[in-house]
């Protein structure tokens, strides 16, 4: 799709809604999906919600990780992420907030970021970005709460490829213990199952390539593995 403005998203989602309506009997409203997994384009979220009013929208964990990965690169933290194990772990603990119940996200984040052993500088561009974009919205797009809830009720997860199935099982074995763990221990245990890595494209070393473009392509070409 050319462009990412809300009007274009609205037209796409309206066309989808109209297509669903054609499958229904005359006079009936189309059945809306229970959940919609979407990336973090604000225009897409707003447009989708205006058309599909009964659907719960959830953020995509892959894109969440991709966005944080891009900022690690953009703000010059890539070397530290590679060489500093504590910094590496705590960056992934930011992503682990996606597995915290929505109502607890801000409280757990504040406990984490204010802890004496937290090495993520509160006034760094990375943390300011994270708070503005995600914590400022109280992680409304809590990514896995719906799936965790289903597992607690005994429902089986959707079929997945073997490596993704094993990863899901490891993550969920931690997630269901949320109420029995210290919040920081919980984040750290979740973070052990998350990975961020990237490979710079040789062609991107050209000085004419902007920093934003280089960071974006390096991230997208790499292996940012948050598969659920």
* Range 169-174 contact pairs with CB under 8 angstroms and sequence separation of 24 or more: 171/99, 171/144, 171/228, 172/147, 172/148, 174/99
What CA–CA distance (Å, rounded) separates 53 from 121?
A: 39
Query: Is the pTM higher than 0.85?
Result: no
Task: Choose from 16-20, 59-63, 75-79, 208-212 the range with maximum mean pLDDT.
Answer: 75-79
**What are the helix (H) ranges across 76-210?**
78-83, 85-96, 105-113, 125-133, 145-152, 162-175, 183-191
Q: Please classify residue 133 by burial: count the beta carbons closer than 10 Å to its beta carbon, then call 0-12 exposed, 13-18 middle and 19+ buried.
A: middle
What CA–CA distance (Å, rounded) separates 195 from 12?
A: 33
Confidence (pLDDT) at 148: 46
Q: Is the pLDDT of residue 213 over 70?
A: no
Q: Is the pLDDT of residue 37 over 60?
A: yes
Percent of the chain with pLDDT over 90: 32
Q: Is the pLDDT of residue 198 over 90?
A: no
Confidence (pLDDT) at 111: 94
Q: For residue 225, what pLDDT band results from cuts at 50, 70 and 90? A: very low
**Beta partners for residue 59, in sequence order:** 38
């Amino acid at each position: 799709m050319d462009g990412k403005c809300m009007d274009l998203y609205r037209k796409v989602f309206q066309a989808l809604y109209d297509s669903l309506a054609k499958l229904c009997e005359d006079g009936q409203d189309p059945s809306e999906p229970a959940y919609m997994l979407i990336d973090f384009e604000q225009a897409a979220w707003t447009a989708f919600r205006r058309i599909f009013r009964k659907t719960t929208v959830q953020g995509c964990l892959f894109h969440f990780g991709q966005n944080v990965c891009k900022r690690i690169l953009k703000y010059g933290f890539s070397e530290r992420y590679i060489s500093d194990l504590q910094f590496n772990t705590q960056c992934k603990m930011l992503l682990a907030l996606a597995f915290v119940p929505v109502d607890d996200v801000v409280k757990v984040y504040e406990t984490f970021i204010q802890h004496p052993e937290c090495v993520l500088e509160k006034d760094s561009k990375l943390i300011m970005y994270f708070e503005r974009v995600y914590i400022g919205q109280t992680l409304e797009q809590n990514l896995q709460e719906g799936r965790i809830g289903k597992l607690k009720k005994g429902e089986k997860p959707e079929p997945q490829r073997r490596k993704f199935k094993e990863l899901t099982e490891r993550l969920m074995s931690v997630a269901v213990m949320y109420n029995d763990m210290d919040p920081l221990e919980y984040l750290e245990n979740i973070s052990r199952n998350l990975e961020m890595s990237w490979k710079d494209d040789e062609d991107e070393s050209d000085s004419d390539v902007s920093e934003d473009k280089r960071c974006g392509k390096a991230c997208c070409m790499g292996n940012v593995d948050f598969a659920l």
